[in-house]
Structure 1
Amino acid sequence: MAGQQARCTRKAVSPSSRVAIIGGGISGLAAAKQLAAHDPVVFEATPSIGGVWKHCVYRSTRLQTPRPDYEFSDYSWRNREDPTFPTHAEIVEYLEGYADTFDLWRYIMFGAKVVDVKCLGGAGFTELWSGTGEPLQGKPMWEVGVATGDSDTVQYYKFEFVVMCTGKYGDVPRMPVFPLGKGPEVFKGTVMHSLDYCKLSEDETVELMKSKKVVVVGYKKSAIDLALECAQANQGEGGEACTMLVRTLHWVVPSYSIWGLPFFLFYSTRLAQFLYERPNQGLLRSLLCRLMSPLRAGVSKFIESYLAWKLPLEKYGLRPEHPFVEDYASCQMAILPDGFFDMADQDLIRFKRASGWCFSENGVVLEDGTEVEADLVFLATGFEGKDKLRAVLPDPFRGLVLNNSGMMPLYRGTIHPLIPNMAFVGYVESVSNLHTSELRCRWLAGLLGGRFALPSVEAMVRHVDGEAEAMRRTTRFYRRHCISTYSIHDSDAMCADLGSRVHRKGNWLAELFAPYNNKDYKEE
């Protein structure tokens, strides 16, 4: 691996640079590698790569998938046989090694925050995307405004194509809204979003929570990890319990083994995914999906039976009423950190169900009038990543970021049919977001390289509408653009566009029963 001294980063924008990439996280790095032929400029607002893994993690944050399921197709983990889930520090180290191996530093401008993007005429809303259907037209289409360091001066650069890789998480916290007199202003204690908690050192977090009555609002991965850290800080004499306010229950999983069977058997093989609806499928396949509905329900109930046996969900009132598959299909399944329910059994983590709540002087008040005393309230309420896009995109494009269903309408999870000469990478979720982003960047490189042409705007709109409808029929949480139940089909479509092999295994047995992962998509 190259030393730190050899990491020469970009200091200026070359006139030959035709492509801008905004963001230096996983998607930005994948885009830089795949689009290297266009001498891209990667604008990264912070002093380091890694995105959310560098700037929006707790000390205990780990990946939720095994190492072999979260690696680039052409760059393996050094210790990929290690069964433990990587820490956030290990992930950043892995990404730095990837940047070293492929000399991606030369494309990255650190401390370069994009604050404005202007359209230089464009093609408007036409039959073909960007007017001609061509992503590179030999003339600038966007002007990107960049603020560097602590300077208030904004420097503008012109590009033919822009790739947005700012991510869905971090930077913009989602804050609950309260009626007048019932918000944080009436609370005598401290209110902190999980984003601000991420900025504290380990000693600062322990000092903040030790011997304090803490309420954590939320029940997704960040809330669960935060509650566990709170409980660990309050072990011993004088410790106080952490109370989680749970509005919507989701299924949690202790490991990737269900009744002794590997989890991939249920959702990650071609045969397993044959059971589930795909976007824009034909009449015959729709009929087959309807006939296989009992089998899908049986798989979900089989997993639910294990989780109900393995975890004290009934004891704590945490068993969801919806099927497991709805959480898996919307990428909301969370892997439990070790010791979480052990802390609950010690009464260091408590749970309160609440669809509505507000602040009081001494804590929070639930909808039924119950008051939970608190010195500190954490809002693990998520992020408004799409607001980052809307903040920099000009009208009318900022109003098109989300469709009527609340989803980003992206063809192949990358191209917005109504926003010309721009791509969006990292806004589609799957079991392995790294693989999802890498393959989309390869597909995007094929588009910019002329290996295939996009369909008409109307055809792309119909396609993304079909994806939204398939999601709506699969899960009540359809607003999250998640492809986990049809990820192999999604990859097939991109491989077909590129003229690559669709079936990537060596024989039909492996094709049907072996799990697909990033190594199957190593470039030929």
Structure 2
Amino acid sequence: MQEQRYDFVILTVGKYSGLPNIPVFPPGKGPESFKRNVIHSMDCAKMETGFMKAKNPVVVGLGKTAIDIAMACSAANGIENPCTVLYRTVHWAIPGDLPVPLGYLLLNRFSHLIVHKPEEGFLLKVLATILSPLRWAISKYVERAIIKAVNLRKYDMVPKHGFFQEANSCSAASLPQGFYDRVDEGSIKLVKSQNFNFCEDGIFIEGKGESIKTELVILCTGFRGADKVRDMFMSPFFKKCITASDNDSLCQLYREMIHPRIPQLAVVGMAESVSNLQTAEMMSRWLAELLDGNIKIPSIKDMEKNIAEWDKHLKPSPSYGKRFCVGTYNIWFNDKLCQDMGWNPKRKKSALAELFEPYGPLDYAQPQ
């Protein structure tokens, strides 16, 4: 092993590759007892064309990746060998043809006025409190529009949590066109279960006392991005610094990049937002300014205070507490990066546009 010294290290290892998150099963009830194929979603791209042509494939999960793979499986097998989607929790999935202007409801500055934000002043805090009923009304409006657009009640697929909670966690998926048409025709079957085990010729559904025979199980169960970052450190001190108190996720970082106790290290690409690529690009620009000496990071105490403030808002629900999501505060987060870099955070041409026009990646194409 060779040791090299650097003034600054930037980790851009990503969170959607490398270490798959494989569920833990009781002894003798895991993939080892299954006599057919078990793969993780990350392996799908490596497989040969036609590998999905299996008898009754089972997709575990209901996120964006799971939905896309289920669509591919149903197209390959049809109703003769339907694809079973096994899931625990129903999520809000947004149809592409939803007749709702989501950009004007969720992606402009006005939408930021109705939520409490980290580092907000007294007036913004009061305004967010006064406008909180509007936030609830917008959430209900979007929920009802989605339910009506794809008739979710028919399939018993109405989430128990609100749409804004989904948005806060960056876990809302886009729904492929024709997904529920595949459910109607029988090429996709939806099965809800809190637990399942493997058996010799398929999977056994806990609580229902029934099994599903299959030749292929695809685990769309996410990745262990925190472990991937943590395992890059040999020092126990650094491992402990970078790990959150739950020992299962990364700790919160200053500007989602810098650890106060390891200021010569930056992590880019672990935070989620409305546009992960755009957020990563803004972080990269911020880091370039930092390395050029144009940004001075605060003291350890001030950074830890700032992190605690953001952590309080980025983890609104214990059930979604392990996701670093700035989605609800996307414009606000970019404002802070712009202010640090000396850019004008207001990117529109008029006050009215600034308040009501949706923000997108092109608004940050050039410094102002």
Q: TM-score range by the shorter chain?
A: over 0.9
Q: Is 1:392 the equivalent of 2:232? A: yes
Q: Is 1:342 the equivalent of 2:342? A: no
Which one of 123, 140, 157 corresponds to residue 4 of structure 2? 157
In 2, Cα distance between equivalents of 1:192 and 1:356: 18
Counterparts of 1:260-409 in structure 2, within 5 Å, are: 261-368=100-207, 369-395=209-235, 396-404=237-245, 406-409=249-252
Deviation at 1:498, TM superposition (A): 1.4
Amino acid at match of 1:430: S
Which one of 90, 101, 107 corresponds to residue 249 of structure 1? 90
In 1, Cα distance between equivalents of 2:231 and 2:244: 17
Which one of 76, 81, 91 corresponds to residue 240 of structure 1? 81
Aligned partner of residue 209 in structure 1, secondary structure = coil
Q: Deviations over 1:480-521 (max 9, x none)?
A: 111111111111111111121121211101111111222222
More relative contact order in 1 or in 2 (CA 8 Å, sep 6+)?
2
Q: Deviations over 1:82-122 (max 9, x none)?
A: xxxxxxxxxxxxxxxxxxxxxxxxxxxxxxxxxxxxxxxxx
Deviation at 1:379, TM superposition (A): 0.8
Aligned partner of residue 157 in structure 1, secondary structure = coil
Whichever of the two has the greater Rg, that structure is 1
Which one of 448, 452, 463 corresponds to residue 295 of structure 2? 452
Identity %: 39
Amino acid at match of 1:375: E
The 8 Å contact of residues 161 and 421 in structure 1, kept in 2 or not, is answered as yes
Counterparts of 1:117-266 in structure 2, within 5 Å, are: 154-201=1-48, 203=49, 206=50, 208-235=51-78, 239-255=80-96, 258-259=98-99, 261-266=100-105
The 8 Å contact of residues 52 and 73 in structure 2, kept in 1 or not, is answered as yes
Amino acid at match of 1:454: I
The 8 Å contact of residues 326 and 475 in structure 1, kept in 2 or not, is answered as no
Output the TM-score relative to the length of structure 1. Answer: 0.66
Deviation at 1:211, TM superposition (A): 4.7
Aligned partner of residue 163 in structure 1, secondary structure = strand
Change (3 A) 1:283 1:367: farther
Instruction: Give the match for residue 510 of structure 1.
Output: 353
Q: Is 1:431 the equivalent of 2:274? A: yes
In 2, Cα distance between equivalents of 1:363 and 1:215: 9
Change (3 A) 1:186 1:344: same
In 1, Cα distance between equivalents of 2:156 and 2:59: 17
Amino acid at match of 1:489: W
Q: Deviations over 1:109-166 (max 9, x none)?
A: xxxxxxxxxxxxxxxxxxxxxxxxxxxxxxxxxxxxxxxxxxxxx5543311110000
Deviation at 1:365, TM superposition (A): 1.5
Of Structure 1 and Structure 2, the greater helix share is in 2
Deviation at 1:476, TM superposition (A): 4.1
Structure 2 unpaired stretches of 5+: none
Deviation beyond 4 Å, 4+ runs, structure 1: none
In 1, Cα distance between equivalents of 2:319 and 2:118: 16
Deviation at 1:258, TM superposition (A): 4.3
Instruction: Give the match for residue 367 of structure 2.
Output: 523
